[in-house]
Amino acid sequence: MAESMNVSTPDGDFRCYVARPSGEGPAPAVVVIQEIFGVNRFVRAVADRLASQGYLAVAPDLFWRIEPGIDITDQTEAEWKRAFELYTTFDVEKGVEDIAATIEAAREDKGCNGKVGAIGFCLGGLLAYLTATRTEADATVSYYGVGVDNFLGEAERLHRPLMLHIAGADQFVPKASQDRIVAALRNHPCVTIHQYPGRDHAFARDGGQHYDAADAETANARTAKFFTDNLRG
């Protein structure tokens, strides 16, 4: 069942899209971290899928400081232009603070059993990595995060499970950046890395230009098992 949640911060309040599981009793929660298009149809679909798997899914509106309620697609040039404007304006540090506040709000929700994970895509993939290094999320998944290699020094803070899905032909994450990420994290005891040769950025965005159904299904199955192992175990 879809609804909304209000999260309060010292800077103001923002809204989250919430999808609740149908089962009775408290369940683990997963915070769904948006791409550069806001809490749009794809993000809501991810939340709905997680709810169907038995999780309380919460997708915070991280662009609220710029403009609340951004909901655009990747289908037109004008929307891409707006998305990149939002991306360059967005404050990553404040975004991580908002995610931390969302994690705490989800953890306090009556429908949560106390375990909270996070999953993010694109910009949200970077934010997912930073969520793993800076917050008390119990398990985190990053899909094709842009700019992760700029924060590899934070890997020493990792103390809970993190899974990375890396697109081998990502136009926004050059091969050199991918190599730095893998070299820095592949031997970390908390990190699992999956690489998808030939896949471009956003290969798991259903309906997107670079969507690959087979690899998206593989990545999503790995994510589902990861959350089962780390949020239900």
Residues designated catalytic: 170, 201
| C-alpha–C-alpha distance, residues 96 and 98, integer Å | 5
Residue 77 to residue 66: CA distance in whole angstroms: 20
Residue 18's identity, in one-letter code, is V
Q: Which two tokens stand for residue 175?
A: 């091969």
Contact, 117 vs 227, CB < 8 A?
Answer: yes
Q: How many other CB atoms are found less than 10 A from the CB of residue 168?
A: 15
One-letter amino acid at 163 equals M
- Identity at 222, one-letter amino acid code: R
- Phi, psi torsion values for 191, nearest 5 degrees: -110, 135
Cβ atoms of 227 and 52 within 8 Å: the answer is: no
